[in-house]
Amino acid sequence: MNAYVGTPTSRVDGRAKVTGAAKYAGEFTAEGLVHGFVVEATIPRGRIVRLDTGEALKVAGVLDVLTHTNRPSLADKDEAWKDEVAPEGSPFRPLYDDLIRFNGQPIALVVAEEWETAKFAATLVRIDYEQDGFATDLEAERGSAREMDKPHEPRGDAKAALAAAPLRHEADYLIPTEHHNPMELYATTTVWESDGKLTVYDKTQGVQNVQKFLCGVFDKKPEEIRVLSPYVGGAFGSGLRPQYQVVLATLAALALKRSVRVVLTRQQMYGLGYRPMTIEHVALGARPDGTLDAVSHEAIAVTSRYEDFSRNDTGWAEQLYKSPNSHFSHKLVDLDVSTPCDMRAPGAATGVLALECAMDELAVALKLDPIELRLKCYSDRDQSEDLPYTSKQLRECYARGAEAFGWARRAPAPRSMRDGKELIGWGMATGVWEALQMPVAVRIVLTANGHAEVSCAASDIGTGTYTIVAQVAADALGLPIENISVRLADSTLPQAPVEGGSWMAASSAHAVLGAAEDIRQELARLAKAMPGSPLANLDAADVTLVDGMIASDGKDGAAVSIADVMRHSKLERIEKEKLNQFTEDKSHARNTHSAVFAEVKVDEELGVIRVTRVVSAVAAGRILNTKTGRSQIMGSVVWGIGMALHEETMMDHRFGRIMNANIAEYHIPVNADIHDIDVIFVDEPDSRINRMGIKGLGEIGIVGVPAAIANAVYHATGKRIRRFPITLDKLL
Ligand code: MOS
């Protein structure tokens, strides 16, 4: 019975969010709460030789200034600092020692009665450094790139095939560093409870990840630290790893035995949390008919000197398009910067941007329609593993998207379409992402009044987890959605990993289904045992929960109300917890796909670019909620517009310091930049991927968007911009 799943159900947490009832990490308060303000390093590499906190401590209202010299103890071993998504290496530890590893590194925390006092006193902390030589420029350090991971197995001989190909396209695409700018700042309120235990409200995508991390760092027992994050104001990768403010707030709480809040400023957020700059080199060799002979994709990305952060930039071409010869490599350059972090569709957002621009350039060289070229190399099997897909409706995405966009009316030559002073460009690109699942446990408590509480430690980072969990539970328990309450993001609740990778919908939905199934079994058993039960002769497998009843699946109409069964059994509540362990099926590839179409209008005299239309046709299995799902894709499209035209972290490499650490100079799209966005969900039944056919949404929405826009800009202007973002100066 699907009363809710698949429908445009409104967010169950919508009212709390728009009325301000929803509380975020930096809004929780406690008796005697005090505030910490971070002092940051102003050099990229070196050592602190003197740190004078005397003046700061004299300010009325300042309670303490914590530094590496006077802090409470922190774990020494790397292992204690490794959270569940930490990359290889030795994680950063705030206030650990006198070493400076990146500009903007926290080196002191001023704690005061008032935030303003702490902020002022922070300006009085005097620091002398011994500066070392440093490097922050990826392009300048390109020569020191080292091979990451085990190299991909090449297919055939790409080098020879490229040399022999009748048509070739080869180019570098540069994608700059991009910083996370969620609405909610990095924030933690650590509450010092009367028994000395800590309750930590943190802006995070994984409360249990943060809880385990804090227990390791501060050598605490699990029952001594509880972490909550009931609402998250955008995260999308920035909250996957515990950020340093959660360490500082907790460190200060332990030092002062008081409740402490640390909220970073927008500027301070640029000290961490970014998509690493990449240089993507793509080479394609083709025959005149558009079939590919060779694909080569090499990526060079930034990482810090202390951790190896890398994501799959180059695997997408390997998987997506048919080519007998292929070569892939991924290299890292160690720089004096903080470790990069995940940002919406990490790896794919960048790698596919380069790939899909290159495919467009190849289509131009071949005088083929861009969709035609992609259909020529279309593969029904994952090329890298030579596996079939659980489902792949990408062909349908191309067709439905093209139709909705009106692609057939496109005049192929650049600069051939215009609207008054504006040149019109139409471009398209393919999107691809993974369909992942993780172990998640859910507890359902059904009470005799016909209400169910569903709980799980998973976060809802704004993507709609509260709502889909309620929808799936309501359907599985046969109750109206109003009778379902959902509790999330508390480390004491049943097990969940970080919410990321677009894996939470499939993972949580099946855990809900599992727990509801156990409740159904229990109710069926009790119902059969009631004297004179109309279900007495039925198997537990033959009854369904519907409309508050335990009902026979057959035509006999036999049913007993849940309330009657519980009353008769003298039960106030039935509680079931289920861990959804899925088994990874290695026989099939699992991916989501999209076809993105973009229209740009470019002012010929001023170079101003407007993205006037985007059509995104997405194939992502069963869509649990067409309303929140559409919002997911729209949000991602907006971010894709930012990637194409606006976002760029600029660094002054003479000082190894970011120049535009604010949203006045780091541009993200605003409402006036956004015009028509049309989201199409292509039907994609998938009975193999999991019981409900769910693949997960969100990240697929950004992949392909910046390439479609870049390709549209080329079509409008005849100018191919390979250094992102495409700002107007590059068109003049
Ligand atoms: Mo996502 S970048 O896994 O929040």
Q: pLDDT value at position 554?
A: 85
pLDDT means per 10 residues, the chain with 732 residues, are 91 96 97 98 98 98 98 97 97 98 98 98 98 98 88 87 97 98 97 96 98 98 98 95 98 98 97 95 97 96 97 92 94 98 98 98 98 97 94 98 98 97 98 97 96 98 96 97 98 97 97 97 94 90 93 89 93 97 88 98 96 98 98 97 98 97 96 98 96 96 98 98 97 92
Active site residue 577: no
Ligand 1 center–CA 346 separation, angstroms = 7
Q: pLDDT value at position 149?
A: 64
With 0.90 as the threshold, say if the pTM is over it.
yes
Which strand (E) or helix (H) includes residue 562?
Answer: helix 562-568
Q: pLDDT value at position 547?
A: 93
| Residues 181, 682: Cα–Cα separation, whole Å | 31
Q: 């109309």: which residue's tokens?
A: 534
| Residues 185, 338: Cα–Cα separation, whole Å | 18
DSSP, collapsed to helix, strand or coil, labels residue 397 as helix
Q: Give the per-residue SS3 of 47-69.
A: EEEEEECHHHHHCCCEEEEECCC
ipTM exceeds 0.90: yes
Ligand 1 center–CA 617 separation, angstroms = 21
Ligand 1 center–CA 236 separation, angstroms = 5
Cis-peptide into 534, omega within 30 deg: no
Domain 438-580, what fold? Aldehyde Oxidoreductase; domain 4 (3.30.365)
Radius of gyration over every alpha carbon of the chain, rounded to an integer in angstroms: 27
Ligand 1 atom closest to the CA of 205, numbered from 1:
4
Q: Are strands 274-275 and 260-263 parallel, antiparallel or unpaired?
A: unpaired
Q: Which of 280, 647, 648, 699 is catalytic?
A: 699
Are 552 and 558 a contacting pair, CB within 8 Å? yes
Task: Count other C-beta atoms under 10 Å from residue 96's C-beta.
Answer: 14
The amino acid occupying position 585 is D
Nearest Cα residue to 109 out of 137, 77, 80, 74: 74
Ligand 1 center–CA 342 separation, angstroms = 6
Ligand 1 center–CA 305 separation, angstroms = 23
| Residues 669, 315: Cα–Cα separation, whole Å | 29
Q: Are strands 387-388 and 651-652 parallel, antiparallel or unpaired?
A: unpaired
Distances (CA, A) of 347 to 51, 350, 433, 599, 702: 40, 5, 10, 25, 11
DSSP assignment, residue 389? B
| Residues 498, 241: Cα–Cα separation, whole Å | 9
Q: What is the dihedral of CA 647, 653, 654, 660, to 10 degrees?
A: 20
Give the angle subtended at the CA of 422 by the CAs of 418 and 425, to the nearest 5°: 60
Residue ranges matching CATH 3.90.1170.50 in the chain? 18-133+182-265
Protein residues with CB under 6 Å of any ligand 1 atom: 205, 236-237, 240, 342-344, 346, 500-501
Residue ranges matching CATH 3.30.365.10 in the chain? 274-436+586-731, 438-580
Ligand 1 center–CA 287 separation, angstroms = 38
Q: pLDDT value at position 1?
A: 60
374-396 exposure pattern, b = at least 16 Cβ within 10 A, e = fewer:
bebbeeeebbbeeeebbbbbbbb
Q: 């202007």: which residue's tokens?
A: 717
Ligand 1 atom closest to the CA of 461, numbered from 1:
4
Q: 């606006």: which residue's tokens?
A: 646
Which DSSP string do the residues of 165-190 spell out, in sequence order? -SEEEEEEEEE--EE---SSPSEEEE
DSSP, collapsed to helix, strand or coil, labels residue 572 as coil
CATH code for the part of the protein at 274-436+586-731: 3.30.365.10
| Residues 127, 54: Cα–Cα separation, whole Å | 11
The residue whose CB lies within 8 Å of the most ligand 1 atoms, and thus the one to mutate among 85, 238, 342, is 342
The residue whose CB lies within 8 Å of the most ligand 1 atoms, and thus the one to mutate among 699, 700, 703, is 699
Ligand 1 atom closest to the CA of 239, numbered from 1:
4
**Rounded to a whole number, what is the distance in angstroms from the first to the last CA of the chain?**
58
Domain 18-133+182-265, what fold? Aldehyde Oxidoreductase; domain 3 (3.90.1170)
Ligand 1 atom closest to the CA of 236, numbered from 1:
4
DSSP assignment, residue 674? -
